[in-house]
Structure 1
Amino acid sequence: MRVASTVEHAEIAPGGSGTIPLDVVNTSGVIDALSVRVLGFPATASVRSQPEQLTLFPQAEGALEVHIGLPDSFPAGTYHVTIVVEGRAAGATDAYHDVEVMVPPHPAVTVTANPSVVRARGRALFTVTAVNEGNTPLDLALRAVDADRNLRTELTPSTLSIPIGRSAVTTVTARGPRQLLGSDRDRPLRIVAEADGASAEVALTLKQRSTFGRGVITALILLAILAAWALAVTIGMRAIFGSDPSTKVAPASFFAATEVPGQSAGAAPAGALARDALLPAGVGGTITGTVQGTEDPAGVGRLTVEALRTSPDGLVLVASAATQADGSYSLAGLFPGEYLLRVAADGYDTIWYPSAVASSGATPVQASAQQVTDGIDLQVTGALASITGLVQTGAVEDVEVTVAAAPTWLPAEEAADAAQQVTAAADGTYEFVDLVAPGSYDLTFEAEGYQPTTITEHVLGGQQRLALDVTLGAGLGQITGMVTNGFEPLGGVQISTTVDGEEVVVGSPTQGRVGSFVLPSLPTPGTYVLTASMDGYGSQTVVVDLAAGESKTDVFIMMTGGVGTISGHVVDTTGNGVGGVTVVAGGTSVGVSATSLTAGDVGAFTLTGVQGSATVTLTFTKEGYAPASIPVTLTDGPPGDVSVTLAPMNGAVQGRVTDGGQGVVGARVEATDGSTVHSTVSTATGAAGSGSYLIPELPPGTYAVTVVSDGRVISTAMVTVLQGTTVRANLPFPGGG
């Protein structure tokens, strides 16, 4: 079989498919039906050929297309794939084509919460689940975003390492400020999950209940109204009738049209504005703007903007408003006129609009009736801030973690130059001091063998901020190496291991970099058991330890032994074949045995399907013979005809029965050890001549050898039989002829 293709490198995206064309030639001498299988892909890949079977005449050429489809979650990495074209005809040889398939990473994550809304007085617990829907492991950094910054949040844990297709859970604890009175208040927040190339978020809501409910408040309000009404009636009655004498006629002050002494008719009520005075507050002006940081142009929330008006007694505070999360503010209901604006808050320098440090340098802002004066922006400078936090590296100890804090408002190159950098302590704690505030900083955590992680923290003026805890996820590693048979690289070998409970299989190429293999995208740190297998060879196992982010490139696997045939002969000490001998191949992964022939080519044996190490031990056993073992080397292929000699386990007694020097034929000879009697009859022919006898298969021991006639013992000899020896004992038989 011969195969060729124009495609040696292919890129297949997760959820996509690729096609590899093959030109196949049937080099055998018979018609064959060819099919395709692929080595080196996990079982989740979909592989099919078009057509499924290709029938070719001898020396005919045909075309096959191999279609490879990958699911959305197929792991990213580079796969060395071997396409095997195999035939069904007897003696057909397989053909191989190697393709390097690159699967690009496609990170994706979804985040859900259960529950997403919790009603509580002060503390709420949310369970947030993150699911890795991509094709590469994710190291997620979780953070809580509270737009109003009224909540104290805690995420346990704040970082998640999620394998492909798996999920992980974190618990979010949210605490709101104490609320004594009022209706339920919604306090929203968002949980943002970020990884390299992927992000997701989920909205949560704490519906905060008041300490005193609506029923209690309503009752108290009603009581207060009744008390106020009673007090007003009492005071009013005293004010109206207190100076009038008791009379049955209503006093003059009771009648609205009646002139009151001392007051002219049509006079305006006390405290009323003159017609040329300013408009009431209900139709007053509005001043809006944004408060930003001096360095970081992002808006600054939770600051107080105050509007002051000049009076004969000095500056008078007229109105104030708090800035929102984006720094915006609005001062509404102002009487028309000029106002001085200032920003004051703990941790910040007091600033008068537009940038004065005292009221004397401030520029007045005009408020007009029923109009909005916008664009009144201010910039504040805060006291230097600090950030402290904790970074962890899992179970690995003595890892040096470098933490850098870069201002987010600068371009990338300038931010890198202005970044502060510290090394985390042995317990993982770190601290940045003298940070410009207010401002946002990207904290980047780096350590050898770990994937870099970045979180963003915002500091206010003079704030000592405690950052979210960070757990670094180790980087991915890989194992590369070579498979040989002890002499040269070996292609077509399957190398498998287990990653997160799933088997991953790759193959060694048969062309190009023959025998090489790569196991990519392995989570670290970890221990991997590699198993190499191939038809014709025994499986080999190698254990590889990977440290955090480590890649090993020198893994060497030698396939030893092989599946083959061993044949030979078993003979005795005289060179004659011995049949019925059991032959066992020891030191093999599969038990193989055979029995030597008892007819035809007596003593011949054949062992097929031998699989094991480079040297196989053959053991030969048969009752009556001493066992024998010999080593056979399979490294260079079948060893040829193997010959082994078995020595008899038992001995024998032989001799002649004579009468006056002449052999006696037909005499009964017995040998006994006291428990068993072995007998024979002397013959006319033999190694020693007429009257010879032989008693074989005698276990080692002392025997009495006698000539017996008509139940009478004629003569006796005592002999000692040794293992594998023959003892001579000539016996006289007077009158035996």
Structure 2
Amino acid sequence: MRVHLSSSQLEVPINERASVTVGIYNDTDVIAGYRVTLLGADPSWITTNGNDTAVFPSETASIELSVALPEDFPAGHRPMAVQVESLEDLEEAVTVALDVVVPRRDQLNMRIEPSSVTGGRSTTFGILIENRGNDTVTAALSGTDDEAVVKVAFSPNDVTLEPGESEIVRAETRGGRRWFGVPTPRIMTFSAAGVEPVREGMATFIQKPRVGRWVLSLAGLICAISVFAIVITHSFEQVAENQKQGQALIEAALDDDPTNQNGVATNPGSVAGSVTGPADAPLAGITIELVSLDDVDGVIAAASSAADGTYRIPGLSDGTFKIRAAGAGFSTRWFGGESFAEASEVGVALGEVSEDIDFFLEGRPGSITGQVVAEDPAGAFAVLVRTAESIDGGTDAEVERAEVAPDGTFTFPKVPSPATYEIQIAKAGFTAEPRKIVLAGGEAAQGIEILLREGNGIIAGRILGPVGALGNVTVEATDGMSTITTVSLTTGDLGAFTLRDMPTPGTYTVTFSREGFATASINVPLNDVATVDELSIRLVPALGAIEGVVRTASGSPLGGATITVSGGGITRTTAAASTGLAGAYILDELPIPGTYTVTFNAPGYVAETRAVDLASVAGTSPAVSIDANLVLSFGTVGGTVTAYGLEVAQASVELTNGILTYTTTSADEPTGVYRLAGIPAGVYTLTVVRTGSATWSQLISLTPGEDKPIDVALEPQASISGLIFDDNGGSPIIRPNAIVELYLVDTFPGGSPVQTAIAGADGAYSFFGLAAPNSYVVAIVAAANDPTLVASVLVALLPGQQVTNTNVTVP
């Protein structure tokens, strides 16, 4: 076998797949199968297209070898080899070198712990640098603050990391601080240069003043005590005792560091949990505070709950604390107890997360105040009910009932919150649209107005289907302000419905809907007559249609194509018209609403599938138009065969993939044109052969419906030419009109000549269009009436070779 690659180098970016084409020529006399593997690569990294393909003798197969490398594969050049093994002769194998090039992929991650530190003149941050790329990275660290007053020293300053490695760098920050005042936050920006773009991270260094506010207060107290001591001499001993206590307090204040954050751990601990409220709903924006064990107001750290109710307090030192949660409109809760004294202690360890510190908060009672708008609201009641989605089977829907005052006002002074409610106004002979209220924790909702209208109207009737009364039909009536809904009966008085307590006067749009039927609507006036109870509505099954035209990719109608629709438990098939409106089709009486799959098929074309939604439209049977343009499943290869710019007829053309072979010859008219149609998509070898010319061959890829133009330029045919001389006693002279015969070496002498030529007056002769490679004999005949051969010369001829100066001297 002979093996060649489309390229000796293959670039394979990470997270992408790259391919190389392996060409295998079968130089044996039997059909052979071959298997392709990539030496130096894990089998799971490679795939092949056409492996184990059968290849006929003297034919070429093309196998696509595809490579996808894992994310952690190092960058650079990796020498590998493509090995092709014969399945017929296990000892026959060919190995071809392949240079696999993996481009560099930089991914440098940086994380700073803790994100916020409170300290004095200096503090320490821990910076975790991780190399998630596929090449060695040297990161140079730098740091600065917005005011450029803090100096940063790194240990180490430069970090070299192999792929997958990580290292913690200590960042020592130091800068001047105020003598007096409040703590100063300094926003630190740390950078790691070495990859593009430069990686950056931010942290906060909160610098305490040299002398805090507590120290100033204590100093003032000491001054007051000293003045007091001068004035009140008889209390000297007591004053001296107070001075000792004051000195002790000063020392305690100067040494006070309740958060223990001057020493920063590079692996701090954290606390995490969740906050929920009524109905186990997650609560966002709740403040969770970490408190010292000996001071209920000594908040060490805090965080807010996220939208999903979860929270996390990072950057904590080793210790034991108590935790509370509080938020606007909610009661304060301590973890594990009702008060600070009863709360459970929570331990925090370096490098660990204290999880499941969860809180359930009850909202403080809220209130709802509103106004009923009516000529005479007296006698009405406001009913507060929970919405259907906020209760379960064991909870009463009604929460509270309040009498509406003569001026129309009503109040619910204390209702559970947060919650979602619906306010309903009840008064005999009247109706009102329910009002939905979303009440936040502890909220006092006001300014709610509800319109109360006369509601003695009734709309009633019966709904019929194709075969009688029809139940379970949703009936909805609206006048633009109020909406009332019911369902037709499914037992007893089948199909009957009644809408009661409808505001009058008014005109209502009543809509009737049920799955599988077309929606119907009517207008019903309730003016002088407040009751309409003899309505009869007939619903028809909802049926839709799918229609369109099937064409070829070029836009020509494609009659006879098969169209199949399936979905909703049905499958139907029709054919596109071949006459009249060619290519047109229709599939009707399809239940709606529904989702259907439409498939278009035609012999010799690639099938096409579409998804179609048929929706119910009031009073109509909707039709959806779906046109299809089918692509040929077979391709075509064609072109012109030329040599020296001239068209060549009768050249043999062959297209093969090792299993399928298609042949033709270039035409006499139009000269040199060839065409191979009905070719399945795939990879083929196109070969063109002409007597005396070198064989032309090219690997091509054909897609469905493709008309691939490939023109072929052949090399010139093999030929032999020269001059005929007479020896003339050692002084050769031209021998004009000599008879020259050309023989294959295997048939000389005694055989028939391949060609015969007559030398010209200048003694020149030529033989064209010779089969090669071959060995020929150029022979000279004595005379036209004497076939005796008087001289000859041997010529070896290769395909396309033009041998000139083949001169023959007759003795």
Q: Which has the higher contact order (CA 8 A, sep 6+)?
A: 1
Task: Determine which structure has more spread, i.e. the larger CA radius of gyration.
Answer: 1
TM-score after normalising by structure 2? 0.27
TM-score after normalising by structure 1? 0.29
